[in-house]
Structure 1
Amino acid sequence: MAKTRLFVIRHGRTMFNTIGRAQGWSDTPLTAEGERGIQALGIGLRESGLEFTRAYSSDSGRAIQTMGIILDELGLKDQIPYRFDKRIREWCFGSFDGAYGGELFHGVVPRVLDVEDYKTLTLEDLANGICQVDTANWAEPWEVLKSRILEGFEAIAKEVEENGGGNALVVSHSWTIQTLVCLVEGKPNLNLPLSNGSVTLVEYEDGKLTVKGIGDSSYREVGESLQES
């Protein structure tokens, strides 16, 4: 059986990413620049010679759109199994979904939790702080958030392994990928540099996830160089 590896990709750049809004469970499509960046990623993955056996994404439109572009570039559309999994959605920001990120992360949360910089918080404190300021009561407390994210990725990895292993494409979201890495590596807070279209590599063996690479932009960069030429 081939080794099970998840190529966990942050979706392409969206309208809300571009204007600095917190996206969460709300959704906007990729911009033209975002589409081009994911096309570059697909080209880079194709040039690498990697073979992929299965594909997964969250059920958010931006993740589905991203996966569609990648599968097109790899010539794998309708060629490999692909399904959505809502467990690997982004964090829900509740009443702040769609609000300006600066208002939430640099204003409300630091004021309520009495810190100068939200990046000094653990992911647990940040998640629970968002719950405190969410007047809609939609945001997920840390215990719920970490359980659904870890459960989602473990289920995906197990499914890949049960079907012979190999490389799987997985499109998810910035805070969700940070949470996954945090949980797997046992670190409370990482502030990872996860650019749109970057790849975080996770292996699965003996029922255990292991992070092998974080926020790798090299595939996209190879594709961008080929786009330019």
Structure 2
Amino acid sequence: MAKYQIYMVRHGRTWFNRYNKMQGWSDTPLAPDGVEVAKKAAQALKDVDFKAAFSSDARRAIDTCKLIMDANVNADKVQPQKLMEFREQFYGYFEGMNSPEAWFMVGQPHGASTFSEIIAKHSLDATKDFMKEADPFHDAENAEEYWTRLNRGFKKLDEIAKDGDKILLVSHGTTIRSITDRYNAGNFDVTESPQNSSLTMLERDDGFNRVTSYNQMLS
């Protein structure tokens, strides 16, 4: 199996990001400042020899990926593709809700009132399990469902990656944070969310993941 690098970029800032609303499988377009920060990321990454480019199937990720690849040295060789496996976590009933309100409802039964407090007292995976538990429909993804989906995505990347490849993957804040938390090779502080259009680097070697940098701002 190949050893390759994944350049994980969070999408540009959206309208729901601006309003601090839960945005998992729901989707809002990039806000004007989100387009601008994505263009800055594109300039910072323009000389990276990407052999493939992927995004989740959310419009905010697709648009960010296109902005980056349109400026890339391999723009005429690499066509961005969608991988639904790298969608954001599904928040079920809580989609579109005010974020602090949602996390208060999810965390209170477990002695925590904010997202960061749930992580500190329990774990990042616990935020997923607690959310499914609090969802009156139980539609939200728990940790097992979430990681089963992401692992399918990594296996799809393995099918196309060759030794030494650099692959662009535009995904989402909680997804990048969760991957960093699970495969943390640098003691990165995942209580801090990756910023919009920031870069997180992951090395994948023979099916094993290792995050080597987290939340680097691109300008």
Say if 1:154 and 1:209, in contact at 8 Å, map to a contact too.
Answer: no
Structure richer in helix, relative to its length? 1
Deviations 1:173-206 (A, max 9, x none): 111111212222399x932440000111111223
Is it true that 1:6 corresponds to 2:12 in the alignment? Answer: no
| Residue ranges of structure 1 left out of the alignment (5+ in a row) | 222-229
Matches within 5 A, 1:1-229: 4-46=4-46, 49-74=47-72, 76-77=74-75, 79-105=77-103, 107-116=104-113, 117-120=117-120, 121-161=122-162, 165-185=164-184, 190-217=190-217, 220-221=218-219
Matched residue SS, 2:180:
helix
- The TM-score, its normalising length taken from structure 1, stands at 0.85
TM-score for both structures, normalised by structure 2: 0.89
2:92·2:138 contact (CA, 8 Å) conserved in 1?
yes
| In 1, Cα distance between equivalents of 2:37 and 2:158 | 26
Q: Give CA deviations for 1:46-79 in whole Å, capped at 9, x if unaligned.
A: 2xx3211100110111100111111112254452
- Cα pair 2:49 2:73 within 8 Å, conserved: no
**SS of structure 2 residue aligned to 1:197:** coil
SS in 2 for 1:185: coil
Q: Give secondary structure in 1 for the equivalent of 2:197.
A: coil
Greater alpha carbon shift after TM alignment, 120-129 vs 50-59: 120-129
CA distance in 2, matches of 1:55, 1:128: 31
Q: CA deviation at 1:158?
A: 4.5
| CA offset digits 1:191-222 (Å, max 9, x no partner) | 244000011111122332221111111xx22x
Residue correspondences, number: 213
Question: 1:74 aligns to what SS in structure 2?
Answer: coil
Matches of 1:190 and 1:74, distance apart in 2:
29
In structure 2, the residue matched to 1:226 is none
2:66/2:80 contact within 8 Å kept: no
| SS state at 2:141 partner | coil
Q: In terms of mean alpha carbon deviation, does 33-42 or 207-216 score higher? A: 207-216
Q: How far, CA to CA, are the matches of 1:33 and 1:73 in structure 2?
A: 18
